[in-house]
Amino acid sequence: MSPQLVFLLFSLIVLAAAWLKPDWTRLFVGFFFLLMALGVNLAMILIDPGIYVQAGSQALLPVYKWFFTSVLAAATVPFVIALIVFEISVAVSILSRGKWARCGLIAAVVFCVGMAPLGIESITTPVLGLAIGLLLRREYPRSLLDLLRRRPVQPAPVG
């Protein structure tokens, strides 16, 4: 089974979960972004930072190919550190509540769609973006910490 098919199936499962269980799926997506930041990108920067330039050299859009082989190649580690910080920020936002959760979800959608032109390996990321976008149909009045503390929903301010 090809990696693209595996990721497409994963994305479709997340899409179904977002439709059926949006609260749980939001938490999953937040932890998924943390896993990508710390488990994948941090590990890759320690093992082989050049893999980002190599991956970008296969990009479907010339501007992506240029960016990865010229700009990113000149400062791979700082860019990947910025990527890690971005993904952690998105995860923390998604796991927050209210407008912060929405902002994190929007950033995650844009990120997933923006990854698609990186190459055939990431061509299915817009499906994951669609799944995450589906989570925007709900409000999230409780953060992960609120859920862990079993804190009730705070009423919205009047006025």
- pLDDT for 27-79, tens place per residue? 999 999 999 999 999 999 999 999 999 999 989 999 999 999 999 999 999 99
**pLDDT given at position 159:** 60
Average confidence (pLDDT) over 5-22:
95
- DSSP for 96-148, please give it: S-HHHHHHHHHHHHHHHHHHGGG-GGGTTHHHHHHHHHHGGGS-----HHHHH
Q: Does pLDDT of 96 surpass 70? A: yes
Give me 23's structure tokens: 């609260």
Q: Does pLDDT of 88 surpass 80? A: yes
Judge whether 101 lies within some domain.
yes
Q: How far is CA 94 from the centre of its chain?
A: 10
Judge whether 147 lies within some domain.
no
Judge whether 145 lies within some domain.
no
**pLDDT given at position 77:** 96
Which domain, by its residues, includes 122? 3-140
Judge whether 156 lies within some domain.
no
**pLDDT given at position 9:** 95
Judge whether 38 lies within some domain.
yes
**pLDDT given at position 3:** 85
Tens-place pLDDT, residues 99-144: 999 999 999 999 999 999 998 888 889 999 999 999 999 999 999 9
Q: Which of 71, 68, 70 is nearest to 59 (CA)?
A: 68
Helix 22-34 to helix 98-115 angle (10° resolution) is 60
Q: Does pLDDT of 157 surpass 80? A: no
**pLDDT given at position 154:** 65
Q: Which of 101, 96, 100, 83 is nearest to 37 (CA)?
A: 83
Judge whether 153 lies within some domain.
no
Contact between 145 and 66 (Cβ < 8 Å): no
Judge whether 103 lies within some domain.
yes
Q: Which of 98, 96, 94, 91 is nearest to 143 (CA)?
A: 96
**pLDDT given at position 140:** 94
* Overall domain count for the chain: 1
Judge whether 75 lies within some domain.
yes
Helices (H) and strands (E) in the chain, counts: 10, 0
Kindly report whether the global pTM for this prediction surpasses the value 0.85: yes
